[in-house]
Structure 1
Amino acid sequence: MTRVLIADDEDSMRSLVARAIAMDGHETVTAQDGAEALEVLTRDEGAFDLLLTDIQMPVMDGIALALTAARDFPALKILLMTGFAHQRERASGLEAIVHDVVTKPFSVADIRTAVADALAARKSA
């Protein structure tokens, strides 16, 4: 079973994404910001297949989380989410460590497809 760590400061978005991904049989773990997600990654020694993180969050944003996670756990696939165009621009240039940026709002089908694509890319890498 694949493990997905979801980091988003919005409770409703975190639970929607977790439920959507669980529909495909993935185990989900959630965190409310980047710092908590990094604690989970460190505690579990990076034992996740995918990190799905919002870009704009308090404490530690998704880009700082992605940079740290990619450095410490290079096999981890990373997907970013954002509802803000300027945040999407911040993610440009991170193609080497980020599989894709999913634009909010998205449908359940959109996020499930994005996760499946990222996981398929991880397996073929």
Structure 2
Amino acid sequence: MSNPDRLLIVDDNEDILSTFYEFFNSLGYEVKTAADGFDALKILREKPDYFDCLITDLVMPNISGVGLISIVKNEFHNIKTIAMTGYGGHPGALASEARADIVIFKPVDLFKIERKVAELIGRKEN
């Protein structure tokens, strides 16, 4: 049996974190969550080759999603990144600048974001 696809989901909104956790977990992903970029980096550095995809909010305390994506792109070359934002074009432009693989605007459609994750990491249909 192959390893499950592993996601790290970062958002300072607990409701969003738990919704994403439940949703992706129910689809067979292994999911870890972090409440901000600082916690996310700690998790990533403890398990550098562990995660397949990072899904992060852009506007967060401590380390923003833009900062997090920039660090991930420099330190963890194999991790695909999806940026989520509820704010118009500016954070979206920043996410592109930070080289996020995909930028998604909130409110997000969970099935749409799952399709994007599957495309990015080459997930096979169950």
TM-score by length of 2: 0.87
Q: Report the equivalent of 1:28.
A: 31
Q: Distance in 2 between matches of 1:117 and 1:102?
A: 14
Q: Distance in 1 between matches of 2:28 and 2:15?
A: 20
Q: Distance in 1 between matches of 2:109 and 2:82?
A: 16
Q: Report the equivalent of 1:90.
A: 94
Note the C-alpha offset of 1:19. Answer: 1.6
Q: Report the equivalent of 1:12.
A: 15
Note the C-alpha offset of 1:89. Answer: 2.1
Contact preservation (8 Å) 1:54, 1:81: yes
Instruction: Supply the RMSD in Å over aligned alpha carbons.
Output: 1.7
Q: Distance in 2 between matches of 1:44 and 1:92?
A: 26
Note the C-alpha offset of 1:111. Answer: 2.1
Q: Distance in 1 between matches of 2:65 and 2:49?
A: 16
Q: Report the equivalent of 1:106.
A: 108
Give ranges in structure 1 of 5+ residues lacking alignment.
none
Q: Distance in 2 between matches of 1:119 and 1:23?
A: 18
Contact preservation (8 Å) 2:12, 2:36: yes
Moved over 6 A (4+): none
Contact preservation (8 Å) 2:96, 2:103: no
Q: Distance in 1 between matches of 2:113 and 2:96?
A: 20
- Percentage identity across aligned positions? 33
Contact preservation (8 Å) 2:72, 2:79: yes
User: Aligned residue pairs: how many?
Assistant: 120
Q: Report the equivalent of 2:84.
A: 81
Contact preservation (8 Å) 1:7, 1:32: yes
Q: Any idea what the Cα deviations from partners look like across 1:28-78, whole Å, max 9, x if unmatched? A: 000000000000000112410001110000000001001111111111111
